[in-house]
Amino acid sequence: MTDTATPAVIHRADYAPPAFLIDSVTLEFDLVPARTIVKNSMRMRRNPDAARAARLELMGEQLELVSVAVNGVPHAAARAHEHGLTLDDVPDTFELTIVSACAPAENTTLSGLYVSSDNFFTQCEAEGFRRITYFLDRPDVMTTYTVTLRADKAAYPVLLSNGNLIEEGDLADGRHFAKWEDPFKKPSYLFALVAGRLVALEERIKSVSGKEKLLQVWVEPHDLDKTRHAMESLIHSIRWDEERFGLELDLDRFMIVAVSDFNMGAMENKGLNIFNTKYVLANPETATDTDFANIEAVVGHEYFHNWTGNRVTCRDWFQLSLKEGLTVFRDQEFSADMAGGATDETARAVKRIEDVRVLRQMQFAEDSGPMAHPVRPESYVEINNFYTMTVYEKGAEVVRMYQTLFGRDGFRRGMDLYFKRHDGQAVACDDFRLALADANGRDLAQFERWYSQAGTPRVTVETAYDADAQRYTVTLKQGYGDAAPAARATQKGPLLIPFAIGLIGRDGADLPLRLEGESAASGTTRVLDFTETEQTFTFVDVREAPLPSLLRNFSAPVVVEYDYTADELAFLLAHDSDPFNRWEAGQRLATRELLALAARAAENAPLQLDDSVVTAFARVLTDETLSPAFRELALMLPSEAYLAEQMAESNPAAVHRARQFVRKRLAAALREAWLAIYDRHRTPGAYAPTPEAAGHRGLKNLALAYLAELDDPADAVKLATAQYAEANNMTDRAAALSALLAASTSKETPAAESALADFYRRFEKEPLVIDKWFALQATQRGSAARPIIDVVRKLMTHPAFNIKNPNRARSLIFSFCSANPAQFHAEDGSGYAFWAEQVIALDALNPQVAARLARALELWRRYTPVLREKMRAALEQVASQVKSRDVREIVEKALV
Ligand code: TRP
Ligand code: ZN
């Protein structure tokens, strides 16, 4: 590597330890929006465990170098270049002092130090710290930080950084300062500072060992009335990690700060988490039930990183899933425990179903395209492009499989050993796997393939019953089908798949399970150790021909292929004791029917719905023994994106026609039932975002959405108009508005337009609600007479639209390009032209956000020929104009 060139592709195999270490760092900031000066003093020494380097290479980007001194003496031989700073001839141990400047006010990338609403914020993961100062900006260089912030006191009364506040005071010229010290060693990606006019909701609690802790949620003054739920979520998170994993908060003070310009959800900076406002601010008037649940999950996620990510961090960015997969698993379990405790299986299943829906819709799609990569990638061009569904969600499934294999107690033993071995270290995914293996006395060498093989495994199942011998055999075969080329290259051999199975008798009850070789029957769900390419398992003493319940609770992230008849699926939907598989049976039934209809729609053939689907759905709808939240999920059809992905050639228009046809049929055939459900599940009285109340609202609003599909949607318009006007919460108000918009596609209604206008006026000062206003319009159904691209283009000129704010860009541009497939994939290519324009515009402002949008076309090869060619043209246009490494990697991989 020369001074100025970073290699185009970074490979995992090229990892080498750092040539230098940093024993401590002292940072001084003079915060001024146009030009902030940073003085950085580092105690450095050569790494005894690395080869001796000729030079010290520090990373740095978009910095203006002011001065460099080694042991207090100006260093003449320091060379600043586009990617950093090179120092020849440094001693073995030395103090390095660097002064540099950066321009936060001009920083539209939202990486490094930037200004948002006149306040200062930082975002350093993954490689943002090098935009603040020259540094060894890699996660295996851990050190202790002492940080002094200086700024104008009137404009920036609050000055925050990681750890403990050790000193503060006034300076000349109306300025003041604060000095912070973080006692824990950390990598640079966990550094943070915040400065500005902010206020905090505070709580003091005692942690499990009796120590007093100060908790703060910092926001802009007008948002203080929306912080209670985030604070409660934080307290619940702290308690949960103490109880479930024996992990205590290690700082005296823990802060959350909300910022409205943010690239992702939130960031786990040590002791100073910085959050997108979307995942902090909530009150009943502005936030939906989903928002409340997401806030709890994200607050939990970032808090849980304090141990899984911060105390034990990643050796290099290829190990990202070490912290992200594990922390997503932890936040999923937290949410499940909060909803259903350890034992309410139906409430837990609701959370599980929601998570699996996301995985199958988004991660399976990623796995089937040009960005397919293993949970632990082998190479990258831009690490920001690898904060993916695979690293996060599939990574969480991989962690979940340990718990499925070893049980909760065995998993806990593994976690305990992991912290015992690695607290304070930067480690690799292998270290986690070895801790789990050693704590449970099992060789997990084969399990490593879950980290190194890309693509979605397919398990095909064949069964046979021998009535005379009372034996039932289950033969499992695993492979990857016709995987994407990017995935195929990584596939080496069979996986260790924990395959949970149950057998159901004629009366709908589970049969006792005894595998051949076992002395007695035990339990009704068995986790099979499926390790070979093909393997047969034999159950004995099976007194009648059973119906298999396969992959219970989705015990592994795979596709299961088994030829159920429609009757069998209806039976499972009615009887399976595993709530996940009850839901799954309904989805299989609906998916099969919808795909058959989509194939007919693609040929413009007439559509007809099998009565068995209506009957099965009707039974769920009216089964009052099932929780409303579960029924809502069971009655929700698979998404258009998921269905299109299942077709040999994705045809969004045909999928949309088929799905709408089924929705209308279900609406009409069950009209009375929907009306009754609407009535029965109202939630009068004060609003509470509990899972139970949210379940009632969800089912009621699903009924409203179905009623809005009727050719004559008069009932829906009447109910929605009243609901909109009377709602005391955002869930009901937004659902009513959405129903009015849907109803107006079959029959123009002035109610939709006036509700839309009212909604804007009412919430003009609430940016997160205005985001919903944009998103609802961008995702609405269109017609030949009213294509939604026209609506979107018009909204782009609305005074409230601002492409520099990621939440706003996502609410309009991403909603249209990723969440309205039938309109986005219009045959005239108008959606793709719009996409290309917006990717290019964002590329110049915020490459991370631009690259996310760029991914909307990555599955282009899988579409019908007409669409495919237009998508290729749009991709080529972007490829010819792109500036950032982020977007370039996406479009170049797509076009290969
Ligand atoms: N580590 C963060 C999380 O998972 C996410 C994150 C990664 C992030 N890179 C970021 C957030 C860039 C904002 C900007 O919680
Ligand atoms: Zn995370």
Q: What CATH number is attached to the domain comprising 14?
A: 2.60.40.1730
Q: Looking at the domain assignment, is residue 280 inside a domain?
A: no
Domain closes at, from 156, 177, 195: 195
**Cα–Cα distances in Å, from 417 out to 185, 378, 426, 838?**
21, 27, 15, 48
pTM for the full predicted model: 0.98
Of 502, 536, 563, at which residue does a domain stop? 563
Q: Judge if the beta carbon of residue 264 lies within 6 A of ligand 1.
A: yes
pLDDT in tens, 595-607: 999 999 999 999 9
Domain membership of residue 731 (yes or no) is no
Same domain, yes or no, for 419 and 478?
no
Residues 365 and 485 in one domain: no
Structure tokens at 315: 């050796």
Q: Are residues 339 and 413 in the same domain?
A: yes
The response to whether residue 387 sits with its C-beta less than 6 Å from ligand 1 reads yes
Q: Is the CB of 123 under 6 A from ligand 1?
A: yes
- Quote the ligand 2 centre to 305 CA distance (angstroms): 7
> Could you say which DSSP state residue 371 is in?
T
Q: Bridge-partner residues for 530, per DSSP?
A: 497
Nearest CA to ligand 1 atom 10: 125
The CATH number of the domain where 786 resides is what?
1.25.50.10
Instruction: Tell me what pLDDT residue 547 has.
Output: 98
Res. 880 pLDDT band, cuts 50 70 90:
very high
Give the range of the structural domain holding residue 380, as residue numbers without chain letter.
Answer: 313-452
Q: What is the CATH number of the domain that holds 549?
A: 2.60.40.1840
Residue 280 to residue 270: CA distance in whole angstroms = 18
Q: Is residue 857 in some structural domain?
A: yes
> What is the mean predicted confidence (pLDDT) over 812-838?
98
Phi first, then psi: give them for residue 124, nearest 5 degrees.
-105, -25
783-790: list long-range contacts, CB under 8 Å, 24+ apart.
783/745, 787/823, 787/826, 787/830, 788/816, 788/820, 788/823, 789/816, 789/823, 789/826, 789/830, 789/831, 789/834
Mutate which of 190, 264, 385 for ligand 1 pocket (most atoms within 8 A of beta carbon):
264
pLDDT tens-digit map of 829-876: 999 999 999 999 999 999 999 999 999 999 999 999 999 999 999 999
Rounded to the nearest whole angstrom, what is the distance from the C-alpha of residue 326 to the centroid of ligand 2? 9
- One domain, residues 788 and 892: yes
Say yes or no: CB of residue 324 within 6 Å of ligand 1.
Answer: yes
Ligand lying nearest the CA atom of residue 298: 1
| Residue 476 sits in the same domain as residue 434 | no
Residue 49 is assigned to a structural domain of this protein: yes
Neighbouring residues of 841: CB distance < 8 A, sequence distance ≥ 6: 803
Q: What is the mean pLDDT of residues 748-777?
A: 96
Cis peptide before 126 (omega within 30 of 0): yes
How many residues appear in the chain?
896
Q: Are 811 and 771 in contact (CB under 8 A)?
A: yes
Instruction: Kindly state whether residues 448 and 466 are assigned to the same domain.
Output: no
Ligand nearest to the backbone CA of 189? 1
Amino acid sitting at position 441: G
Task: Indicate the pLDDT class of residue 6, thresholds 50, 70 and 90.
Answer: low
Question: Ligand 1 pocket test: which of 121, 122, 263, 848 has the largest number of ligand atoms within 8 Å of its C-beta?
Answer: 263
Nearest CA to ligand 1 atom 5: 267
Q: Is residue 152 part of a domain?
A: yes
Q: List CB-based neighbours of ion ligand 2 within 5 Å.
A: 324, 327
Share of the chain above pLDDT 90, in %: 96
d(CA 111, CA 852): 15
The stretch 314-327 carries a mean pLDDT of 99
Residue among 57, 61, 125, 302 flagged as catalytic: 302
Tokens 């060894």 sit on residue:
136
| Whether residues 482 and 379 fall in one domain | no
Rounded CA-CA distance 3/88 in Å is 11
Under DSSP, the state recorded for 810 is I
List phi, psi (to 5°) of 435: -65, -45
pLDDT at position 745 over 90 = no
Average pLDDT over residues 18-32: 98
CA of 36 to the centre of ligand 2 (A): 29
**Do both 788 and 877 map to the same domain?**
yes
Find the range with the poorest average confidence among 406-410, 479-483, 770-774: 479-483
Q: Is residue 704 part of a domain?
A: no
Q: 886: Cβ below 6 Å to ligand 1?
A: no
User: How far is Cα of residue 523 from the mean position of the Cα atoms in its chain?
Assistant: 35
Beta carbons within 10 angstroms of residue 173's beta carbon: 6
pLDDT for the residue numbered 4 = 44
The DSSP bridge pattern shows strands 119-123 and 84-88 to be unpaired
* Amino acid in position 158: V
The pLDDT of 442-455, averaged and rounded, is: 98
Local confidence band at 2 (pLDDT 50, 70, 90 cut-offs): very low
Asked if residue 3 has pLDDT above 80, the reply is no
Residue of minimum CA distance from atom 13 in ligand 1? 264
Cα 388 to ligand 2 centre (Å): 11
38 and 145, same domain (yes or no): yes
- For residues 777-800, b (16+ Cβ closer than 10 Å) or e, as one string? bbbbbbeeeebbbebbeebeeeee
In a domain, 789, yes or no: yes
Whole-angstrom distance, CA of residue 292 vs CA of residue 284: 9
Nearest 10 degrees: Cα torsion 67, 71, 77, 80: -40
Nearest CA residue ID for atom 6, ligand 1? 267
CATH number of 346's domain: 1.10.390.10
Q: Which ligand places an atom closest to the C-alpha of 273? A: 1
| Burial class of 896 by CB neighbour count within 10 A (0 to 12, 13 to 18, 19+) | exposed
Q: Is 333 in the pocket of ligand 1 (CB under 6 A)?
A: no
User: Are 398 and 336 found together in one domain?
Assistant: yes
Ligand 1 atom with the shortest distance to the CA of 302: 15
547 forms beta bridges with 504
Query: CA 716, CA 700: separation in Å to the nearest integer?
Result: 12
Q: What DSSP string runs through 404-469?
A: HHHHHHHHHHHHHHHHHHHTT-EE-HHHHHHHHHHHTT---TGGGHHHH--S--EEEEEEEEETTT
Domain match, 41 and 183 both: yes
Q: How far apart are CA 178 and CA 171, in angstroms?
A: 11
Confirm whether 331 is domain-assigned: yes
Query: What is the average pLDDT value for the chain, to the nearest integer?
Result: 97
Ligand 1 atom, smallest distance to 392 CA: 4
Task: Report the candidate in 766, 769, 700, 693 with the shortest Cα–Cα distance to residue 734.
Answer: 769
Q: What is the pLDDT of residue 1?
A: 39
Q: In angstroms, what is the span from residue 268 Cα to ligand 1's centroid?
A: 8
Distance 270 CA to ligand 1 centre (A): 13
Three-state secondary structure call for residue 158:
strand
Residue found by looking up tokens 């990857």 in the block: 480
Annotated active-site residue 302? The verdict is yes
8-state DSSP, 801: -
Taking the C-alpha atoms of residue 366 and residue 364, their distance in angstroms, rounded to an integer, is 5
Distance in Å, CA 407 to ligand 2 centroid: 24
Boundary residue ending a domain (195, 215, 241): 195
- Is the CB of 854 inside a 6 Å radius of any atom of ligand 1? no
How many structural domains compose the chain?
A: 4
Alpha helices, DSSP H only, in 179-267? Answer: 228-245
Report the separation in Å between the CA atom of 577 and the middle of ligand 1, taken as the mean of its atom positions: 38
Of 620, 653, 652, which Cα lies nearest the Cα of 636? 620
Query: Which is it for the CA torsion 824, 837, 386, 860, positive or negative?
Result: positive
Q: Is the CB of 125 under 6 A from ligand 1?
A: yes
Is there a single domain that holds both residue 462 and residue 403? no
